[in-house]
Structure 1
Amino acid sequence: MKSEERRQKIKEMLENSTQPLSGKTLADTFGVTRQVIVKDMGIIKAEGMKIIPTARGYLLEKNTDNLKKREIQVCHSKEEIEKELQIIVDLGGNILQTHVNHPIYGTVGESLNIKSRKDIMDFLHKTEETGCMPLLELTKGVHTHLIAAEEETTLDEICTALKKTGFLLSQ
């Protein structure tokens, strides 16, 4: 298979997928190395396709322009990650991104796109599987999320619930 043909098939897979596609899965599918897939993704992005590299794989950026968004700063322990994320998704929110402001490295973050309990479990499983520490451990629990929902009132409800748990620092 020619590289242009492979990239076209990758584009189609991204457009039809609701879950991230891992580099390993794509490499296995096309019988190439993960480095070839990384190069393909760079070319596809340069062609204008909006691809989000996440810890779980590549995801096509969905149009979230019609969603209301809010950046919130929270603080909690590693053991409370699941509880915090569940509060957000159970009330109808989507965690688009997370980042920390590290005193040495500056802003360090990741696109998450967590919108369901399944996404939460996949995220937690990936952190356990890789042994990587969550970003919040770099800043004693303080981190920022960009969250989205269809209604501003939903974002208000999420912030109220996070405030009740003591997680919310600012919005």
Structure 2
Amino acid sequence: MPHLYQTDPAWADQPYAGGTVRVNACGPTCLTMVYVCLTGRTDMDPARMSAFADQNNFAPTGATEWSFMTSGANMLGIQSTQIHPTRESIENALAGGRPVICSVHPGDFTSVGHFIVLGGIDDQGMVEVFDPNSPFNSAQRWPIQRILNQTKACWSFWV
């Protein structure tokens, strides 16, 4: 899975949801990582994914709607389903090669609300995190319970 960041100068200042990719596009950036990982295609980057989300009204209030993770993904040819934010559900998805996107509330990753991607989990329950807003957070593994304590909802993806 590629590490993509909202702050990348290639797209950070592009428009999204009444602001910019840098400020508002954690959801589209996460879905871009999953899209590239699952399809092997590179025709979408965070700016294009953000434009796609805006064009299809997935961010009418300035934040990415949860429906983007299901309906938006399906429009791109990616299957997805919302899963229970439990260790078992996440482990099962990741063991099956299905990346997981989590919507998290304020905590380690955000002071407002945020999306992150989980790409793998080891035998000790440490999760590989792809945080679209933080190379620092993405460079370390996180205890699954710490992620779960901050998770509001999550989705798994496959093709």
Structure with bigger gyration radius: 1
TM-score (norm 2): 0.38
TM-score (norm 1): 0.36
User: Which is richer in helix?
Assistant: 1
